[in-house]
Structure 1
Amino acid sequence: MNVLIIGSGGREHALAWKVAQDTRVTKVYVAPGNAGTATEAKCENVALDVLALEQLADFAAAHVELTIVGPEAPLVAGVVDLFRSRGLPCFGPTAGAAQLEGSKAFTKDFLARHQIPTAAYANFTEVEPALAYLREQGAPIVIKADGLAAGKGVIVAMTLAEAEEAVRDMLSGNAFGDAGARVVIEEFLDGEEASFIVMVDGKNVLPMATSQDHKRVGDGDSGPNTGGMGAYSPAPVVTPEVHARVMREIIEPTVAGMASEGNVYTGFLYAGLMIDQSGAPKVIEFNCRFGDPETQPVMLRLQSSLVLLVEAALAEALDKIEACWDPRPSLGIVLAAGGYPGDYAKGDVIAGLDAAATLPGKVFQAGTALRDGQVVTAGGRVLCATALGETVSAAQQNAYALAQEVSWNGCFYRSDIGYRAIARERQ
């Protein structure tokens, strides 16, 4: 069989690599893919944008038996709805269900309706009421732009002045309540974050391995937020007791609540959680797809066929299948372009990929392209060096050994990915 993966990041390289391992799979097409998927065994890139929905559907109808969607933008735009209307198997949530990621206000209101634990919050479209609420609540406090593409995204304001500036920024030109911009203001939660990703078939849930992402650009979680600078799996903060609570208090009520409101959820569902000292989980955010970079270490641990799991989900049979995991932890380090998450150069030649390929682990490619037969940088997050180990410390050593083989002008990465889990191991 042939499979189409939509997307071009490290997540999609990891998904394509995993799908290609299934002996039934002849070819994995990746649209548009990157230099890593261009050279991966059984994989071939297709020059179609992730939002060229009609062309993607035409391609799928002609060439593949199954499509898996990587990024959020095509999901929110309705790629699954279109594929379904044409009778094409496609794994992901409909546009209605993808609102869980597409609108933070939708999600907060949904969580409140279904008594699912999350931070206290309020939604605003006008500056003055938002500022009044801020002064009432005080700092630290979190301000989130409502939509998907808001580059400013999430501001964790440690002072009132910072919070007020963020609100004015996001709602500027919006003093008259123009619905074009909306912010969610919510309480600052203390605790440890975890990424809890599951597969959903509409009613049954199959948990994936847990993971923990590192959002800040600098060591010790300093500097601005990014798309993620590294991740490891499993997340030790998610003990068996916490896991059971997350399923019972968050995941199951979310899947049931979405179905009861007419947005039956199928696809990957990613709950970004904050877990406090007592082990109580709260939802920080939902994503309607697998995380990036979490996919890379999680796929390295997955021993089952991803194709079989997706087929079971599309057949509403996730209750009849289990996923097998390598018991060893895995860890992935993002190698980024100098200047990221701000402005960065593109087109720098990447050296050392062949040498890295001889070591244990896997270098997944993200913001890369092929130019005259050479792999060059083409994004902010360029590679993810990912490895297994008997302990998180060992996985970290193996992943950094991989990262050290690779270089380009301006390449940088955090030196402390996995530090929380390693501190636990040493206790």
Structure 2
Amino acid sequence: MNVLVIGNGAREHAIIYMLKKSPKIDKIYSIKPNAAIKKMTTALQIDLNDGAKLRTAIVENAIELVVVGPEKPLVDGIADRIADICSVFGPTKAAAQLEGSKVFAKDFMNRYDIPTAACIVVNSAAAARQKAVDFDFPHVWKVDGLAGGKGVFISNSASQDEAIIEKLFVDRIFGDSANEVILEEFLAGEELSVFALFDNHTYKYFSNAKDFKRAYDNNLGPNTGGMGALSPIAVSEEESDQIDSIINKTFQGIKKEGLDYRGV
């Protein structure tokens, strides 16, 4: 089987590293690879945004499986554009809203009784200032769309609120990704990311990780795309039951809404 892995970061490098261990894989292709990925794959000289050339490359190179790493191509609908000519590891555009829109994800969690922090959605500086007084500090501000892991801000004062509001709604540092912003209650506790494989028919939980996102020591500084992570993390029986419940509710919600979600 020939495989195309889309993406050129550490995540995709790890995926390719493991794919190369499989006896089922004949050849792995990439697009605009970094130096490490370039040594492990055959690079296709195409623009990922050129749908016609991407489809032609998939057919001409007998690519049977496309693995999509980054969120943005999935949110932009790459799976929808090529699913008729190959298998795709990654959700369709509609299903990718779970990752690409925090507002969509919040609504989804509320519909299917998945535990989540209370929040409101604001779409202007005036609305943000008005609604901020309804929440106790700290305030959590989350950009709706993709922001490279840097779209979450925590505020401990009205002056910090104002600085965040200015960045999001006046300076528009995240552009259209911040057309809507979530103002959310602050939840203190340990962070845990849980990973499961979905294929529209069933799911399989396979790992977890604890991500450290703040830029400085002692959990200080702005959020980043990730300063490091530990995996796996030991969980109690009660926590394991909670994880199972959340994953199952998510899976059942995806099925009920008819979303085509194949991937992590």
TM > 0.5 between the two?
yes
Q: How far, CA to CA, are the matches of 2:215 and 2:177 in structure 1?
A: 32
Matched, 1:246 2:237: no
Residues 258-407 of structure 1 aligned to structure 2 (within 5 Å): 258-268=254-264
Deviation at 1:74, TM superposition (A): 0.7
Matched to 1:47, the amino acid is Q
Query: In the superposition, relative to structure 1, how do residues 87 and 231 fare at CA in structure 2: closer, same or farther (>3 Å)?
Result: same
Q: How far, CA to CA, are the matches of 1:195 and 1:150 in structure 2?
A: 17
Query: In the superposition, relative to structure 1, how do residues 258 and 198 fare at CA in structure 2: closer, same or farther (>3 Å)?
Result: same
Query: In the superposition, relative to structure 1, how do residues 179 and 8 fare at CA in structure 2: closer, same or farther (>3 Å)?
Result: closer
Q: Match of 1:3, SS?
A: strand
Q: How far, CA to CA, are the matches of 2:165 and 2:45 in structure 1?
A: 39
2:16 match: 16
Partners of 2:168 and 2:178 within 8 A in 1: no
Deviation at 1:50, TM superposition (A): 4.0
2:202 match: 204
> Any gaps of 5 or more consecutive residues in structure 2?
none
Aligned-pair identity (%): 38
Deviations 1:202-255 (A, max 9, x none): 13111121111111222333322221121121012x33431231121x111112
2:3 match: 3
Query: In the superposition, relative to structure 1, how do residues 251 and 151 fare at CA in structure 2: closer, same or farther (>3 Å)?
Result: closer
Partners of 2:144 and 2:177 within 8 A in 1: no
Deviation at 1:94, TM superposition (A): 0.2
Runs of 4+ in 1 over 6 A off after TM superposition: none
Partners of 1:125 and 1:179 within 8 A in 2: no
2:28 match: 28
Q: How far, CA to CA, are the matches of 1:2 and 1:150 in structure 2?
A: 30
1:138 to 136, 139, 147: 136
1:195 match: 193
1:227 match: 225
CA-based RMSD: 2.2
Q: How far, CA to CA, are the matches of 2:171 and 2:7 in structure 1?
A: 34
1:167 match: 165
Q: How far, CA to CA, are the matches of 2:162 and 2:75 in structure 1?
A: 30
Matched to 1:257, the amino acid is G
| Equivalent residues, number | 260
Deviation at 1:60, TM superposition (A): 1.7
Q: Match of 1:66, SS?
A: strand
Query: In the superposition, relative to structure 1, how do residues 92 and 150 fare at CA in structure 2: closer, same or farther (>3 Å)?
Result: closer
Q: How far, CA to CA, are the matches of 2:18 and 2:148 in structure 1?
A: 31
1:182 to 180, 183, 190: 180
Q: How far, CA to CA, are the matches of 1:54 and 1:62 in structure 2?
A: 12
Matched, 1:125 2:95: no
Partners of 1:33 and 1:46 within 8 A in 2: no
Residues 83-98 of structure 1 aligned to structure 2 (within 5 Å): 83-84=82-83, 86-98=84-96
Deviation at 1:123, TM superposition (A): 0.4
Residues 100-115 of structure 1 aligned to structure 2 (within 5 Å): 100-115=98-113
| TM-score, normalised with respect to structure 1 | 0.57
Partners of 2:150 and 2:225 within 8 A in 1: no
Deviation at 1:68, TM superposition (A): 0.6
Partners of 1:4 and 1:67 within 8 A in 2: yes
